[in-house]
Structure 1
Amino acid sequence: MELTLFLQQLVNGLSLGSMYALVAVGYTMVYGVLRLINFAHGDIMMVGAYAALFCMSNFSIPFLGALSLAMIFSMCVGIATDKIAYKPLRKAPRISLLITAIGISFFLQNLFNMLFTSTPRAFNAPSYFEKSINFGDIHTTLGSLLVPFITLIVVIFVLLILYKSKYGIAIRALAFDIQTVNLMGIDANRIIAIVFAIGSILAAIGGVFWAATYYSVTPTMGTLMGLKAFAAAVLGGIGSVVGAVLGALIIGLSEVIAVALFPEISGFKDAFAFIFLVFILLFRPTGILGINFERSRF
């Protein structure tokens, strides 16, 4: 592969991996606290994309305003999901929570299918997203550069919350022992709601940028995206925020570069995430940055 082509695909892969990372961090935070694989998380991303589209198309709200409202709406949906579906099952077997998460996923998909139909809806990204940016022979768009930059800022902000705030201390304490946290006078359910709120906000950002990049939204858009983000979280080491980001970037880069190297297998590009996951787990069963849950979190 020529150096110019490689660098071109590197930019594209970073942009794609950054969108995976926004969703993967939500997966890993919920798992770190509740040991729950929240399969409805990818659909929260879809909810955010539709919320932004609804605000822009029906009320002519600018993109940044629509993004902000989508984040708030997705946060409310995430918290409501926890309160209604997961909170009553805190002491139930893990399989009950897993089945409930799958049920919530199907519910959200069918609800939005009923509200907006299954026909893909066009998402009009801001014109500056398409502004051409050139670095010598490398051609990209401002949108492709904005996504990794915003993802970096968001992930740093999440890490600051986890390690520099009292809520972050409570989240990490809760991840160790929910019973002890309750005995110390901390409202565990409130802290769990905060975790769902953070994860849902990140998913909404990822969903809006995905729609702005690929110009459409559908009720099932979060299914494959959610599975890839879950694979990224496991690849990087589920329970590690940095690991989730690393796994997402690896999957995004490998997916884009593999298609560039072997265009004849482009139809199988969605399988690369899971092939890469299986390969890595053969040698690192806990993921690249897998952590010992008896000693650390996130």
Structure 2
Amino acid sequence: MNFALQTAIDALSVGSIYALSALGIGLLFGIMRLINFAQSEFVTIGIYILMLSAGVWFPLAALAAICVVVVLALVVERMAFRPIRTADPATLLVTSFAVSYLLQYSLVLIFGARPIGLDILPELARPIVMGSVRVPRIDIATIGATIVLLSAFALFLRKTRIGIEMRAAAVDFRMARLLGIRANRVIAVAFAMSGLLAAVVAILFAARTGVAAPTIGLELALVGFVATVIGGMGSLVGAVFGGLAVGVVTVLLQAFLPPELRAYREAFVYIVVIAVLVLRPQGLFRGAAARERV
């Protein structure tokens, strides 16, 4: 019973981080049909901002990370993606890779390629003891922050004007524009929200790992992309559930695989992913059927 509870909390914690990563990627794909691999660098830069803010009151350091990443996302949208918005998907994809590598190697030039240790809220590493179960506070904080953020995100999309415009744009952007929705504003808000999600992931991941490295966000972006595909391209609900599913499978495999096979855990995860896609090529949830981009 105690082992099951411990495993369930670990699975929800890891799945929560993956869900937020997938949501940031799925949000942009839903509106622009763009797979933004630079999302990984948004996370990485958020972690480096936290490192540079060491010694500062944590809420201010977290706010600084969020502001920098959101502004960076808006700059990337304005400088890199807006001029080629009507280009073919291959051009958008290549641009996404180019921005990702530009940001990554800029970090290498500034900070070097070696990982750097950082200590974000060390008290979160202390466990909460419930009988014989020891739950790290970072797991509770991660699950709680994800629930709050996803709830706020859902309310934003359903109750605000710009949120409703974003939902309409994700279904049929051409019709939405004919009805008076401003493309530049909707896409800029989508990039800003993806930056916000990346910054929150950076804070949670930095508190969990205590490491800053130029490629640290790459795994999260890759898992986020896989989770988006599993959930259903274009479906935000699917992206969240896909992220949770990947996190749960990862932790369960770590817990139940024989010790000699745990080094190959990721291979087993992707076997499960392939099996899901063979059974449901469209993903767990159907996204918007519209293929048009802006």
Assess same fold via TM > 0.5.
yes
Residues 1:110 and 2:105 aligned together: yes
Paired position in structure 2 for 1:160: 155
Please give the residue correspondences for 1:249-264 in structure 2 after superposition, counting only pairs within 5 Å: 249-262=244-257, 263-264=259-260
Partner SS state of residue 242, structure 1: helix
Q: CA deviation at 1:72?
A: 0.9
Is the contact between residue 104 and residue 215 of structure 2 (CA under 8 Å) also seen in structure 1?
yes
Is the contact between residue 45 and residue 206 of structure 1 (CA under 8 Å) also seen in structure 2?
yes
With over 3 angstroms needed to count, the CA separation of the structure-2 counterparts of 1:278 and 1:118, relative to structure 1, is same
Paired position in structure 2 for 1:61: 56
Paired position in structure 2 for 1:290: 286
Name which of structure 1's ranges 97-106 and 260-269 shifts more when overlaid on structure 2: 260-269
1:10 to 8, 11, 18: 8
Please give the residue correspondences for 1:1-298 in structure 2 after superposition, counting only pairs within 5 Å: 3-56=1-54, 60-262=55-257, 263-294=259-290
Q: Which amino acid aligns with 2:13?
A: S
Q: CA deviation at 1:132?
A: 1.8
Misfit runs of 4+, over 4 Å: none
Name which of structure 1's ranges 78-87 and 264-273 shifts more when overlaid on structure 2: 264-273
Unmatched segments (≥5 aa) in structure 2: none
Is the contact between residue 163 and residue 169 of structure 1 (CA under 8 Å) also seen in structure 2?
yes
Q: Following the alignment from structure 1 to structure 2, what is the Cα–Cα distance between the partners of residues 205 and 273?
A: 25
Instruction: State the Cα RMSD in Å.
Output: 1.6
Q: Following the alignment from structure 1 to structure 2, what is the Cα–Cα distance between the partners of residues 261 and 101?
A: 37
Q: CA deviation at 1:185?
A: 3.4
Name which of structure 1's ranges 130-139 and 172-181 shifts more when overlaid on structure 2: 172-181
Partner SS state of residue 134, structure 1: strand
Is the contact between residue 43 and residue 222 of structure 1 (CA under 8 Å) also seen in structure 2?
yes
Is the contact between residue 24 and residue 245 of structure 1 (CA under 8 Å) also seen in structure 2?
yes
Overall identity of the aligned pairs, in %:
32
With over 3 angstroms needed to count, the CA separation of the structure-2 counterparts of 1:292 and 1:98, relative to structure 1, is same
Q: TM-score, normalised by structure 2?
A: 0.94
Q: Following the alignment from structure 1 to structure 2, what is the Cα–Cα distance between the partners of residues 106 and 205?
A: 22
Q: TM-score, normalised by structure 1?
A: 0.93
Q: Following the alignment from structure 1 to structure 2, what is the Cα–Cα distance between the partners of residues 34 and 280?
A: 26
Q: Following the alignment from structure 1 to structure 2, what is the Cα–Cα distance between the partners of residues 131 and 258?
A: 25
Unmatched segments (≥5 aa) in structure 1: none
Q: Which amino acid aligns with 2:143?
A: P
Partner SS state of residue 221, structure 1: coil
Q: Following the alignment from structure 1 to structure 2, what is the Cα–Cα distance between the partners of residues 269 and 64?
A: 36
Is the contact between residue 6 and residue 257 of structure 1 (CA under 8 Å) also seen in structure 2?
no
Q: Following the alignment from structure 1 to structure 2, what is the Cα–Cα distance between the partners of residues 53 and 271?
A: 32
Is the contact between residue 232 and residue 239 of structure 2 (CA under 8 Å) also seen in structure 1?
yes
Q: CA deviation at 1:216?
A: 0.4
Q: CA deviation at 1:242?
A: 2.1
Q: Following the alignment from structure 1 to structure 2, what is the Cα–Cα distance between the partners of residues 238 and 179?
A: 19
Q: Following the alignment from structure 2 to structure 1, what is the Cα–Cα distance between the partners of residues 157 and 269?
A: 28
Is the contact between residue 15 and residue 147 of structure 1 (CA under 8 Å) also seen in structure 2?
yes
Q: Following the alignment from structure 2 to structure 1, what is the Cα–Cα distance between the partners of residues 20 and 121?
A: 20
Is the contact between residue 251 and residue 272 of structure 1 (CA under 8 Å) also seen in structure 2?
no
Q: CA deviation at 1:205?
A: 0.7
Q: Following the alignment from structure 1 to structure 2, what is the Cα–Cα distance between the partners of residues 257 and 93?
A: 40
Q: CA deviation at 1:292?
A: 4.3
Is the contact between residue 49 and residue 208 of structure 1 (CA under 8 Å) also seen in structure 2?
yes
Q: Following the alignment from structure 2 to structure 1, what is the Cα–Cα distance between the partners of residues 235 and 92?
A: 21
Q: Which amino acid aligns with 2:153?
A: V
